Structure 1
Amino acid sequence: MKIFSNRLFSLLYSVFALVGVGLLISARVVKPGPATPNVVLFFMDDLGYGDLSCTGALDYTTPNLDRMAAEGSRFTNFLVAQAVCSASRAALLTGCYPNRLGISGALGPNSPIGLNPNEETLADLLKERGYATGIFGKWHLGDNRQFLPLQQGFDEYYGVPYSHDMWPLHPAQKQANYPSLRWIEGNEPKQEIKDLNDAGHITETITERAVSFIRKHKKDPFFLYVPHPLPHVPLAASAQFKGKSARGIFGDVMMELDWSVGQILGELKQQGLDKNTLVLFISDNGPWLNYGDHAGSSGGFREGKGTSFEGGHRVPFLVRWPGVVPAGRVSNKLLSTLDILPTVAKLCGARLPKQRIDGVDWIALLKGDNTVTPRDRFYYYYRKNSLEAVRQGDWKLVFAHPGRTYEGFLPGQGGQPGPSTETHEFPVALYDLRRDPGERYDVREQHPDLVARLEKLAEEARADLGDDIQKRTGANVREPGRISQ
């Protein structure tokens, strides 16, 4: 009996020891569970609210995006954090107002600043969780090596470092001293994009890389970020799509972008990943309207890119995840690109960034609970750090500010921009976006109580983030990354 007891004790000791070692190993390496979703995030460039056939586009169709909307959910009240390239992208990847991070405007070649590598991006959080992370497309958060995607949480990168009009053939600034535009692979410059014929291969090249990434990581959870450089000018399409639409080159480009989405969705299905992949489709801001026939449509909203009106901030937002996201649903709830990071991170079992963010979790709404209202306010910042408007629910108070307007100017044609102004003086105005989504009728005199309430919210924003219009510095802003000396 004593011998049996000793053997039993030894056996139990060995089992507990093995369990203990296993627990120690699992504490060091976070392994995603089998239900952990893959994430595919499309981010278009200058695509307007009205540029999909399911949102009203004419003379071309976007069948793959229409199918994505039919098989998933379409959100009609979705805002970007700022209506300009770099600032919008910083917000998407960090969940922060870009002015909190010291990022504004569109960073040019050889920019001395970029997204601070100390900021935690969605790629950082998912990589820590065990995800493979890849970006194929436009980065535009600093082209110095220390700011490139591989230093911001991504395992793989192939794309352009900034907007593809920042090159010697800029349609309106041929005199600008831009360097040559090159593809970047990892951290290294590769072949030059020399002309519009080369630019015509941008969409198909990015698509091929994205499909290859899915095949490579089909057995692992992955985060695939596809920030297409188009339909930002200059417009260019591959031979397969040139002349295919009745809308001209803009329609051709949109048809090719829709094809790209279809190729990637098709690959997910072919690899058996369709039902375990969350797919999101967004644009970085509204259309660059003074480019006329080479620009998209704001869908009837006021103004476009580079403004704090709805035409600049409101963009299409499609979400698809079979069996999780309701099919065929249209939601009018207010959401923003700020809210992508906290929601995706939680869905994937990742932690949130250690520093303060501005996004909110909207998982319940994502899954179909329309009784919840995750976001009730939004701050419209622009330029370096100017608070130009504040919104709560469907009420929007615009503050007096100088800004861009396209109204009253004849738009350009053939890739050349028409005139616009950056110094138009906009007056204070209160808009009821339920009845007046075009922001045409100032109702301040009818609702002084609402004006006071929104002004109070604006004061909270100014204390937190600052306001250049009032020459105020916020208490909780952080520094951008700066090139190391």
Structure 2
Amino acid sequence: MIKSLSLIYINMNHIGSILFLMFISVNCELYGQTVKLENQPNFIIIFADDLGYGDLSTYGHPSIETPNLDRMASEGQKWTNFYVGASVCTPSRAALLTGRLPIRSGMTSNKVRVLFPNSVNGLPADEITLAEQLKEVGYGTACIGKWHLGHKKEYLPTNNGFDYYFGIPYSNDMDNLAKLKSKEEYEKFWHNRSNIKSENFNVPLMRNTNIIERPANQNTITRRYTEEAISYIRKNKDSPFFLYLAHNLPHIPLFASKEFLGTSRRGIYGDVIEEIDYGVGQIISALKEEGLTNNTIVVFTSDNGPWLSFKADGGSAGLLKAGKGMTWEGGMRVPGIFWSPTKIKPGLISDIGTTMDLFTTFSHMAGVSIPNDRIIDGVDLSATLLRSEPSDRDEVLYYRGSDLYAMRVGSFKAHFITEGEYGMYGERQLHEPPLLYNLNHDPSEKYNIAERHPEVLEKIRAAVKKHESGLVIGRDLLIERN
């Protein structure tokens, strides 16, 4: 009798295993095996443009109020050492969506900073985006907002894994009807607030591959992006989705809806940030209303540091040095907030993470294999996010264009080259020996300690050599223009 019961137990276990295997679907793809799992989390990435490390009240700003992001940070994880893949728009966005340094994809250049309306190229078709990854296991995907990885049809989000696109395909200051020809004209235009009218920037607003409004009314663009995001969430609540919401602001020119214009203590820049924060709150409320909070991960971050040359119309990197375009900390260290009430373990995270890690982390969480036919620079942060275990990332590479300017290993950062904001704040300088800073002790990079720690410099040099030994540089795709 006991033997018979044991056989029944074994058989029941066997049947249970079969039923479990029937619960998942296995896909053999070109670059590896993918497994579709039940209860895949939804992913929302909210990406601000030119928002600095110090521009949110949860990161210490004294006059900008961001209660919704503050709440996300207190309920989820706030990362204090979170980085982007580049300190300017196009390469930074390429890094986030591909999980790869933009030097590999050709989405960076020493001669042209970003893609422009007369650029010929865009993100190469053979690059695999996070949207393409997630579609392999059944995700719906949407890109709302700024794209800046190619405005031609073949380069738009709808040809890079996104089912739906609504937004401006490049920076909101482009297609400037003033046709500025000199530095003097440029500065005169931008420092006269009366010139900053939405109709002066002939940027297109697109739905999928069609232009639906030109010039886009930027006075309402933040509100409309939020509305589109909420609409997408409600329509796709019954299946896993990836929503990439990339605001065009607070990149200059600055615009806010009438409900927010003139309401902050920080002027127009603060108005813009507070409207973005309000939109974040609306998105969180929509998730709660639809019963999606337990299975949705929301990330808020920025594409690079603040554009300092625009003074009060630019943001702040807080105690970090410099800003957009530079490889000092203020250019590449950004806010990083992760929120999911039942998945993300709340806490203040001082370990290192980057936007490239989202590709790897979300792929693993969704049950899709990492491509094995190319180098992926992102690491899996899920153990830190879900259980507050130490991050697997210990290094950050600071590229400016195609040149490696600096590298961080652990708490130490070495600068091999330094340069100001696109030549505006000092000439390019080569440093031998490199400048060295302990970022845990000196996050403002004030005190060079290279003479005291030659052994640290040797360790960092060895890490650089290892990185460069396997580096294949992609063809410069930004330089070609009509």
TM-score, structure 2 normalization: 0.85
Q: Distance in 2 between matches of 1:312 and 1:262?
A: 27
Q: Distance in 1 between matches of 2:37 and 2:71?
A: 29
After superposition, give the CA deviation of every residue in 1:310-353 in whole Å (9 maximum; x if it has no partner): 000100000011122122x1010011111110001101112212
Match of 1:192 in 2: 214
- Say whether residues 1:87 and 2:91 are aligned partners: yes
- Say whether residues 1:124 and 2:132 are aligned partners: yes
Please state how far the C-alpha of 1:217 moved relative to its aligned partner.
0.4
Contact 2:23-2:38 within 8 A present in 1 as well: no
Q: Distance in 1 between matches of 2:341 and 2:168?
A: 32
Match of 2:160 in 1: 152
- Say whether residues 1:161 and 2:178 are aligned partners: no
Please state how far the C-alpha of 1:101 moved relative to its aligned partner.
0.8
Counterpart of 1:113, as a letter, is N
Q: Distance in 2 between matches of 1:137 and 1:429?
A: 38
Match of 1:288 in 2: 307
Contact 2:203-2:214 within 8 A present in 1 as well: yes
* Local SS of the residue matching 2:427: strand
Equivalent residues in 2 for 1:64-75, closer than 5 Å: 64-75=68-79
Question: Residues 230 and 459 from structure 1, CA distance in 2 versus in 1: closer, same or farther, beyond 3 angstroms?
Answer: same
- Say whether residues 1:423 and 2:419 are aligned partners: no
| Structure 1 runs not aligned, ≥5 long | 1-15, 407-418, 466-475
Contact 1:147-1:481 within 8 A present in 2 as well: no
Q: Distance in 1 between matches of 2:304 and 2:341?
A: 27
- Say whether residues 1:451 and 2:457 are aligned partners: yes
- Say whether residues 1:54 and 2:58 are aligned partners: yes
Counterpart of 1:393, as a letter, is G
Q: Distance in 2 between matches of 1:146 and 1:31?
A: 29
- Say whether residues 1:44 and 2:36 are aligned partners: no
Q: Distance in 2 between matches of 1:293 and 1:24?
A: 56
Q: Distance in 2 between matches of 1:112 and 1:336?
A: 29
Question: Residues 390 and 243 from structure 1, CA distance in 2 versus in 1: closer, same or farther, beyond 3 angstroms?
Answer: same
Match of 1:103 in 2: 107
* Local SS of the residue matching 1:135: strand
Equivalent residues in 2 for 1:377-416, closer than 5 Å: 377-383=395-401, 385-401=402-418, 403-405=419-421
Question: Residues 266 and 170 from structure 1, CA distance in 2 versus in 1: closer, same or farther, beyond 3 angstroms?
Answer: farther
Match of 1:142 among 150, 155, 176: 150
Q: Distance in 2 between matches of 1:361 and 1:24?
A: 25
CA RMSD of the aligned region, Å?
A: 2.7
Counterpart of 1:246, as a letter, is R
Contact 2:35-2:367 within 8 A present in 1 as well: no
Contact 1:308-1:382 within 8 A present in 2 as well: yes
Match of 1:440 among 440, 443, 446: 446
TM-score, structure 1 normalization: 0.84
* Local SS of the residue matching 1:334: strand
Q: Distance in 1 between matches of 2:460 and 2:322?
A: 22
Counterpart of 2:393, as a letter, is R
After superposition, give the CA deviation of every residue in 1:173-203 in whole Å (9 maximum; x if it has no partner): 6979x99311111112221126xxx211110
Match of 1:366 in 2: 385
Match of 2:191 in 1: none
Contact 1:31-1:130 within 8 A present in 2 as well: no
Q: Distance in 2 between matches of 1:153 and 1:186?
A: 12
Please state how far the C-alpha of 1:128 moved relative to its aligned partner.
1.3
Counterpart of 2:407, as a letter, is V
* Larger deviation, residues 150-159 vs 392-401: 392-401
Counterpart of 1:146, as a letter, is E
Contact 1:134-1:156 within 8 A present in 2 as well: yes
* Local SS of the residue matching 1:161: coil
Q: Distance in 1 between matches of 2:352 and 2:64?
A: 29
Contact 1:170-1:234 within 8 A present in 2 as well: no
Question: Residues 460 and 34 from structure 1, CA distance in 2 versus in 1: closer, same or farther, beyond 3 angstroms?
Answer: closer
- Say whether residues 1:215 and 2:234 are aligned partners: yes
**Equivalent residue pairs, number:** 436
* Local SS of the residue matching 1:400: strand
Match of 1:306 among 325, 344, 348: 325
After superposition, give the CA deviation of every residue in 1:151-184 in whole Å (9 maximum; x if it has no partner): 10000000011000012257976979x9931111
Please state how far the C-alpha of 1:68 moved relative to its aligned partner.
0.5
| Structure 2 runs not aligned, ≥5 long | 1-14, 29-33, 187-199
* Larger deviation, residues 216-225 vs 30-39: 30-39
Contact 1:114-1:480 within 8 A present in 2 as well: no
Q: Distance in 1 between matches of 2:139 and 2:133?
A: 9
Question: Residues 179 and 201 from structure 1, CA distance in 2 versus in 1: closer, same or farther, beyond 3 angstroms?
Answer: closer
Counterpart of 2:46, as a letter, is F
Match of 2:192 in 1: none
